[in-house]
Amino acid sequence: MFGTSIHWTTFFYLLIDTFIVLFTLYFSRKKTRSSLKRFLYLGLLFVTYNATGGFLPTDNFPGPLILQYIVTYGVAMTLCVFIVFYLYKEYDIVVLKFNSSIRNLALFTVVSYIILFLVPYFLTQSLDSARLLFTVPISVAAIVFLIIFYKRISNPSNPNAFILRRSKLSTISVTSIALLPICTVIGDYQWITFTIMNMAFFAITAIEIDRYLYFLENNTRIFEVFALRKKQRGESIEDKIIYEDLTRREIEVALSILSNLSYKNIAKGLFIAENTVSKHASNIFKKTGVKNRREFLQRFRKKGKSKKK
């Protein structure tokens, strides 16, 4: 298309991802939460990935051909690492230790790219050989990570349907990452590679939509969810849980606490460590002006029940 190497499917995904980013930007224009910013960054990375991977390589690009591959591979690697980072930060999905799974993952990817791709290319001047040397070990590492990830979030005890849906969609995202180097080994088939990778973004977008609906369904149990202001004229702020003060993850934990679940059961349901739940709970209590779990339940659970009557 347009006299370039971009396939129509890649251009189609580029348009869809751009629309999602613009819609999110419009929806979040009055909000400052870092979680929405992270989703915007993710969307922008996918737009960049589709654009660079679709339009490059091209004869009109200045500089040597390898420079174009450095750009496209660099964007793809950054995107994959950021997806894992996003799952960690947004959903507390911990597969390995945080530093091992994010910082070292990024370092492993960059070092592997330099040693297994750039060095062989400059020595042999063979793009196919360099690509094969780089993608095969990366494919093995990605598959291993996918297996560990799946085992971590599968077979929950008494699963929350909302969390179970999130886990399945998160698995789709990680599977897309694992399949990317395999697609690279197979060959330059844009319609396959970009379909698989964009499924990761669509899965995460579905998670965010599902979470938004989950909050709406439970807005009678947590006060001022999605409030645009911290104070309402003529209303007491002390009687409300202020959404703008809580992260979206903290709201999920708060809803579980209001259901009178123990921290242990909350941890099992959300696939996170019990001490992580405790940290979220401490932040919730501090932000809502209570000292402990009992006072939190007395203030907000009681008012939630009275509001339903």
Block mean pLDDT (10 aa), the chain, length 309: 86 97 84 72 97 91 90 95 86 58 82 94 92 90 86 66 86 93 87 96 94 77 42 40 65 85 84 86 86 85 51
Please check whether residues 148 and 264 belong to one and the same domain: no
Is 228 part of any domain?
Answer: no
Please check whether residues 178 and 299 belong to one and the same domain: no
Is 225 part of any domain?
Answer: no
Please check whether residues 179 and 136 belong to one and the same domain: yes
pLDDT attached to residue 206? 96
pLDDT attached to residue 164? 83
Is 2 part of any domain?
Answer: no
Number of domains in the chain: 2
Please check whether residues 141 and 242 belong to one and the same domain: no
Backbone dihedral angles phi then psi of residue 300, each to the nearest 5 degrees:
-95, -35
Residues sharing a CB contact under 8 Å with residue 271, sequence separation 6 or more, in sequence order: 92, 93, 152, 153, 156, 163, 167
Residue pair 183/150 in contact (Cβ under 8 Å)? The answer is no
The last residue of a domain, from among 217, 248, 269: 217
Please check whether residues 255 and 116 belong to one and the same domain: no
pLDDT attached to residue 245? 66
CATH number of domain containing 274: 1.10.10.10
Distance CA 273, CA 81 (A): 22
Please check whether residues 179 and 264 belong to one and the same domain: no
What predicted TM-score, i.e. pTM, was given to this entire model? 0.80
Distance CA 135, CA 181 (A): 5
Residue pair 270/277 in contact (Cβ under 8 Å)? The answer is yes
**57 upstream amide cis, omega within 30 of 0:** yes
Is 293 part of any domain?
Answer: yes
First vs last Cα of the chain: how many Å apart?
Answer: 61
Please check whether residues 207 and 266 belong to one and the same domain: no
Please check whether residues 137 and 242 belong to one and the same domain: no
Residue 294 sits in which domain range? 237-308
pLDDT attached to residue 234? 40
pLDDT attached to residue 156? 57
Q: Looking at this protein, which amino acid is placed at residue 217? A: E
pLDDT attached to residue 295? 87
Distance CA 284, CA 256 (A): 12
Please check whether residues 25 and 76 belong to one and the same domain: yes
pLDDT attached to residue 219? 65
Please check whether residues 59 and 114 belong to one and the same domain: yes
The last residue of a domain, from among 186, 217, 248: 217
Please check whether residues 143 and 270 belong to one and the same domain: no
The closest of 81, 2, 71, 12 to 47, measured between CA atoms, is 12
Is 279 part of any domain?
Answer: yes
